Amino acid sequence: MKRNVYLDNTPLEEAVGKYSERLSELDALKPLPGELIAVDEAQGRVTAEPVFAQVSSPHYHACAMDGMAVKAENTFKAGETNPVRLKVGSRAFPVDTGDPLPEGCDAVIMIEQVHFAADGEIEIIAAAAPWQHVRPLGEDIVATEMIVPANHVLRSMDIGGILAGGVTEVKVHRQPVVTVMPTGTELVQPGTDLKKGDIIEYNSRIIGGLVREWGGQAVRTAINADEYDILKEQIRNAVEQSDIVVVNAGSSAGSEDFTSAIIRELGEVVVHGVAIKPGKPVVLGVISGKPVLGIPGYPVSAILDCELFLRPVIAAKAGISIVGRPVMNASLSRKLVSPQGVDEFVRVKLGRVGEKVIATPISRGAGVLTSLIRADGILKIPRFMEGHDAGSEVEVELLRDKNEIENTMVIIGSHDVSLDILGNSLRQMYPGRSLSSAHVGSLGGLLALRRGEAHLAGVHLLDEATGEYNAAYVEKLLAGVPVILINLVYREQGFMVPRGNPRSVRSFVDLARPNMRFINRQKGAGTRILLDYYLKKEGVDPEDIEGYDREDYTHMAVAAAVAGGSADVGLGIRAAANALKLDFVPVTEERYDLVIPQAHWDTDHIKSLLGVLNDPDFRTAVEGLGGYSTRAMGQEVYRRD
């Protein structure tokens, strides 16, 4: 058994340069030979040579209007006080749009400007200019003229122009065949009944989709087990049958990571390990003069590595020029720390708040595919930077249209499951509008409002002195800011525990029992404040709780930790417990409000929000999650002018 036990840390620019240089030396980046295909089937393909017209368009002098074809010089004396009469059939000829221009004629008079007189004559009161309302031969395309150049991606209008030029077949570059090989004994096909340790194989579908978007043909193999000799033979076969090979997973240096060793045995490893995050353990190699890439198994790493290293190879072999995505300047909603020595690519949500576009970082985990689904853009942090402070202006590469970002409502604050329903209902009721929700805790949401970085904040902050929710914190943190608080929901908070409550959790005192593994929310979260309130009330020292310092950012993440067995209990909402089929021990009902600065009150964002809150279907959907009351949804509960 052979495997690599190391990874390089090659800087990104150097890795791209080394791989491109080596592939160029091997002529592995030359566009593939052309193939002749029907023009009707050529949209999206890349021309291998220029296309020249075989006929002119139009190929005759064509009438451009319904009316009368005439010889212009026969109309020159016409005027309002001096009408000219022309005999129909000898000096004036009825024509329709597209008809050939009759012999001897060089102009068309629109039918609306013709007066039919007696004795088969027409009368006109304005002279016609030569070639008036006539499409002369070759007006659009002249025979032998070039219609499109080589290396041109054919669009629908190009197809029409080529056909108009009398061409029915066109030579296009052959699309590179990219074989995508998913590897891993733990992988199973979608739809399989899952057992512990199984991982649904979807990366090859993602990579195959990217290959097709970028102009290649994707061929997906069956799942390949982590067996060295079998995998080596499969890679050898894939190289023979395709132009590019992508081996997904097995690119790192673990006990079953064979990709690098196999590529080295069959060919050459140019780079193994690039100083990027995510996506470091990428293998850039060559076998039999063909590019072979080992892509990590984590989906975000796989997608990023494909963007950085696979796409340029496909483009070169397909004769395509890569056009960069548009960019937008934005202000960071919170501090972002990044390790030095790597180029980090951070997914962000975007939305315009007043004069600023706000970028909110979302999950940075290499395995969190939903972070890319939710992301509006990618922020690159160069390897010699330690990150950015909150409020820093950064350049973001866009993954969505700018108009969609302009129509995004930004909510920053406490997490609640109903916000997902809210975002979906918003798009259904108001197409084109969307919701950007960042989970930084209730206190973080109020601070974001103070900095002008959100349209509203979701909060559920219990004031120990009064036992009331939210108003006291708004008074303290948003002093001088006119705001309105609208209720979203009342919701149950309690202990989320495995089915049957095997540790018999009943109170906060139970959290301090020996070997009771707890998972907490982050500092500033309303749930964390609620926990501390009850611990103080019941005389429990946080230092006696195993896991008090273990933090996560959402109710669903806490529920997942309990469901996965890494924690015995977490404090959260009933809806999260229901979603993951956990038992729930209720503690209290709390009020979850939306804090809206009055400066945003009359905007389309807030008007559409209120429209959703007043929708009966939305309320029904929220209550269906369990543990929610919508009895005050949409009602004003506090105002400060």
Q: Has residue 276 been placed in a domain?
A: yes
Q: At what angle do helices 526-537 and 442-450 cross, to 10 degrees?
A: 130
| Rounded average pLDDT over 579-594 | 96
Q: Which of 318, 349, 378 is the last residue of a domain?
A: 318
Tell me the per-residue pLDDT of 476-531, one tens digit each, with 9 for 90 and over. Answer: 999 989 999 999 999 999 999 999 999 999 999 999 999 999 999 988 888 999 99
Is 90 exceeded by the pLDDT of residue 4? no
Q: Has residue 439 been placed in a domain?
A: no
Give the per-residue pLDDT at 641: 87
Q: Which value, to the nearest 10 degrees, does the dihedral of the CA atoms of residues 91, 92, 93, 95 take?
A: 150
Looking at residue 375, what DSSP letter applies? Answer: -
Within this chain, do residues 188 and 333 fall inside the same structural domain, yes or no?
Answer: no
Please say whether the beta carbons of 246 and 285 come within 8 A: no
Tell me the per-residue pLDDT of 151-201, one tens digit each, with 9 for 90 and over. Answer: 999 999 999 999 999 999 999 999 999 999 999 989 999 999 999 899 999
Residue 583 burial (CB count, 10 A): 17
Give the per-residue pLDDT at 253: 60
Q: Which of 372, 391, 406 is the last residue of a domain?
A: 406
Give the per-residue pLDDT at 252: 63
**Kind of pairing between the strands at 387-388 and 336-337:** antiparallel
Question: CA 614 → CA 174, 420, 487, 553, distances in Å?
Answer: 55, 17, 12, 29
Q: How many domains is the chain built from?
A: 5
Q: Which of 106, 135, 164 is the last residue of a domain?
A: 135
Q: Mean pLDDT of all residues in the chain?
A: 93
Give the per-residue pLDDT at 6: 55
Q: Has residue 381 been placed in a domain?
A: yes
Residues 6+ apart with CB under 8 A from 157: none
What φ, ψ does residue 508 adopt, rounded to 5°? -70, -25
Give the per-residue pLDDT at 340: 87
Give the torsion sign (CA, 151, 155, 158, 159): positive
Percentage of the chain exceeding pLDDT 90: 80
Residue 16 burial (CB count, 10 A): 17
Q: Has residue 496 been placed in a domain?
A: yes
Within this chain, do residues 123 and 224 fall inside the same structural domain, yes or no?
Answer: no
Within this chain, do residues 503 and 618 fall inside the same structural domain, yes or no?
Answer: yes
Q: Has residue 544 been placed in a domain?
A: yes
Amino acid identity, position 482:
P
Within this chain, do residues 523 and 399 fall inside the same structural domain, yes or no?
Answer: no
CA distance 222 to 605: 47
Is 70 exceeded by the pLDDT of residue 470? yes
What φ, ψ does residue 250 adopt, rounded to 5°? 80, 20
Within this chain, do residues 635 and 548 fall inside the same structural domain, yes or no?
Answer: yes
Give the per-residue pLDDT at 5: 46
Give the per-residue pLDDT at 1: 45
Looking at residue 613, what DSSP letter applies? Answer: H
Within this chain, do residues 232 and 265 fall inside the same structural domain, yes or no?
Answer: yes
C-alpha atoms less than 13 angstroms from C-alpha of 75 in its C-beta half-sphere: 28
CA distance 90 to 356: 71
Within this chain, do residues 169 and 180 fall inside the same structural domain, yes or no?
Answer: no
Give the per-residue pLDDT at 251: 65
Within this chain, do residues 292 and 220 fall inside the same structural domain, yes or no?
Answer: yes
**Kind of pairing between the strands at 483-497 and 569-573:** antiparallel
Q: Has residue 411 been placed in a domain?
A: no
What φ, ψ does residue 389 adopt, rounded to 5°? -80, 160
**Confidence label for 3 from pLDDT (cuts 50, 70 and 90):** very low
Q: Has residue 180 been placed in a domain?
A: yes
Is 60 exceeded by the pLDDT of residue 148? yes
Range of the domain at 339: 325-406
Please tell me whether residue 263 adopts helix, strand or coil conformation. Answer: helix
Give the per-residue pLDDT at 7: 74
Residues 6+ apart with CB under 8 A from 160: none
**Residue 108 maps to which CATH number?**
2.170.190.11
CA distance 433 to 435: 7
Within this chain, do residues 599 and 615 fall inside the same structural domain, yes or no?
Answer: yes
Give the per-residue pLDDT at 255: 52
Percentage of the chain exceeding pLDDT 70: 98
Within this chain, do residues 182 and 156 fall inside the same structural domain, yes or no?
Answer: no
Within this chain, do residues 589 and 491 fall inside the same structural domain, yes or no?
Answer: yes
Tell me the per-residue pLDDT of 391-425, one tens digit each, with 9 for 90 and over. Answer: 899 999 999 988 888 899 999 888 888 998 999 99
**Confidence label for 38 from pLDDT (cuts 50, 70 and 90):** very high
**Confidence label for 451 from pLDDT (cuts 50, 70 and 90):** confident
